[in-house]
Structure 1
């Protein structure tokens, strides 16, 4: 049967969900690796990455089972969830592409004050810096962070984490937004494949069976 038929849609949908499964497993593996090597010890960050990986893995399994068995209900649930994920991911990706350095600085400031000392020290050790930004408004917080800092650069004069983060965050957000935007359109492809596949007649089924 040529491409565009039952088998073609089935194989394409299965292949797409295998990719989603690999991405989900990769996220879980990276989070476990980061925890195991002590790169990030915050349970909130690790838990968040693992939750995203497990969710993606769960959706991919639903899609894969639905594709293999041509299960109408599972394929419908798969389509609805993918549409919701697409909308959320599209908004997040566009926000990443639109944000500027001034907004990034305000975001870092707000986030830094909510972090635990453990998370701050993890970040300082990873980036080899101390404190966020040494400004008039945050001088007291900066002095406290510097006194608790255990980064290697503490033997000399450490650069602030805010300067290092702002230097690369803009570029990283553009890349993240672009990748997220591209990946979001694969979800629309998944919805389209699932929709077309649901309306295909299984050639092995009873010709009089209800579609």
Structure 2
């Protein structure tokens, strides 16, 4: 059954904005988790996801207030900003899904090279790993880092490289953020359409001759 009445549209738009709030919190939470390994924050797209999550959370609050009060001005700005959020979220989500392991390795290598030896040692101790990536391109750097490594795993000779740990962590975060963001970005088009429709409906509780 099509939701065509004023009350039905109001409830549908309100419910949709509650979902947007939850999605915004989810994006912020997962992105913050993705930045938890420190150097993973060098993947700037994760910062973009946090920004999208914050904007989505704020605009959903505006939309919820506008839906409850049938406020014309709030609903207008809600429609415009939500459409802009859709465009940004769609682009950021596609970027999260498109970034491959090679690009992530390049970002990590660049960031690792700018870290001081003390910071590297602290990161190795915190993640219980040694060195960044044991490959031919950075073998000398890896040997130097391994020699200075103070991780608990080193005496047992059971250390993973920090790069492998961080790449696994960042890949999981990017896939979750990209998938969730891309899926819910299409529901924002539904939100814009529903807001336009609801905004042009008359409130039956108001003066029947007034167009609200």
Query: Match of 2:207?
Result: 206
Which position in structure 2 is the counterpart of 1:155?
155
Structure 1 stretch 14-23 or stretch 107-116: which is displaced more? 107-116
Give distance in 2, aligned partners of 1:124 and 1:82. Answer: 43
Name 2:109's counterpart in structure 1: 109
CA contact (8 A) 1:125 1:152 kept: no
Report the equivalent of 2:84: 84
- CA RMSD of superposed structures (Å): 3.6
**Compared CA separation, residues 55 and 182, structure 1 to 2 (3 A):** same
Structure 1 pair 62/119, CA: closer, same or farther in 2 (3 Å)?
farther
Which position in structure 2 is the counterpart of 1:63? 63
Shift of 1:119: 8.3
Deviations 1:114-152 (A, max 9, x none): 5676588457634x3222113454345435544564543
| Structure 1 unaligned spans of 5+ | none
Aligned length: 201
Q: Is the 8 A contact 1:130 1:161 kept in 2?
A: yes
For residue 152 of structure 1, give the secondary structure of its aligned residue in structure 2: coil
Structure 2 partner of 1:178: 179
Question: Who is 1:187 aligned against?
Answer: 188
- What is the alpha-carbon distance in structure 1 between the residues aligned to residue 112 and residue 11 of structure 2? 47
Cα distance in 1 between the residues matched to 2:37 and 2:170: 21
Residues of 2 paired with 1:149 and 1:170: CA distance?
25
Tell me how far apart the structure 1 counterparts of residues 143 and 19 of structure 2 sit (CA, whole Å). Answer: 47
When the two structures are superposed, what TM-score results if normalisation uses the length of structure 1?
0.73
Name the CA distance, whole Å, in 2 between partners of 1:64 and 1:73: 13
User: Per-residue CA shift, 1:21-62, capped at 9, x if unaligned?
Assistant: 234455667899x7xxxx9496x96xx587665433322211
Unaligned runs of 5+ in 2: 42-46
- Aligned pair in 2 of structure 1 residues 93, 24: CA closer, same or farther (>3 Å)? closer
Query: Which residue of structure 1 aligns with residue 97 of structure 2?
Result: 97
CA distances 1:64-91 after superposition (whole Å, capped 9, x unpaired) = 1011011111111111221111111111
Length-normalised TM-score, structure 2: 0.73
Indicate if the aligned counterparts of 1:134 and 1:160 stay in contact, CA closer than 8 A. Answer: yes
More deviation, 148-157/3-12? 148-157
